[in-house]
Amino acid sequence: MRLSAPRHVTPLVTALVLAAASAQAAPLDATECKSLKSEHETLVSGGAKKDMGKGPKWAKENLKADRLDKIARLITVEEKLSFRCGQMVTASPQLREPPPEETAKASPAGKGFSRIPLPIKKSEASPRRDAKKK
């Protein structure tokens, strides 16, 4: 006795699974994002972000289950805000670019070029081996 699905069922099941997965990753509407943002602010003001910053080992040893649940909820809310609402909450950039007008003033030509020096050529950086032998 053979226990396999008919040939037409397998592609149908695959298509349904892929459709369900893509529906989960759809962007949220503005009202849901707004409620997530307010929940995020509540969790941060409640100290969940500060507790999370102390590390998992500290949290496991020093926090009760309800505080750990708040940290888990904060992580979930931050992920939804970042990936489904388009707000950079989980991976905010650490380095800030200077405003364009400051870059233009600082550049020698005034055209927006940075003041990073050009690399030194190998021939200028170290003398040739032939020069040492003479």
- Contact between 82 and 56 under an 8 Å Cβ cutoff? The reply is no
Task: Judge whether 100 and 110 are in contact, CB under 8 Å.
Answer: no
State the pLDDT confidence band at 109, using cuts at 50, 70 and 90: low
How far, in Å, CA of 15 to CA of 20, rounded? 9
Tens-digit pLDDT profile for residues 24-82: 668 888 999 999 999 999 999 999 999 988 988 999 899 999 999 999 999 999 999 88
Domain ranges for the chain: 33-87
User: What is the per-residue pLDDT for 100?
Assistant: 65
Q: How many CA atoms lie within 13 Å of 131's alpha carbon, on the beta-carbon side?
A: 5
Question: For residue 123, what pLDDT band results from cuts at 50, 70 and 90?
Answer: confident
| 94, 60 Cβ separation under 8 angstroms | no
Give the mean model confidence (pLDDT) for residues 118-129: 70
- CA–CA dist 130, 101 (Å, integer): 48
18 vs 69: which has the higher pLDDT: 69
Res 105 pLDDT > 90: no
**Both structure tokens of 97:** 């670019």
Contact criterion met (CB below 8 Å) for 87 and 37: yes
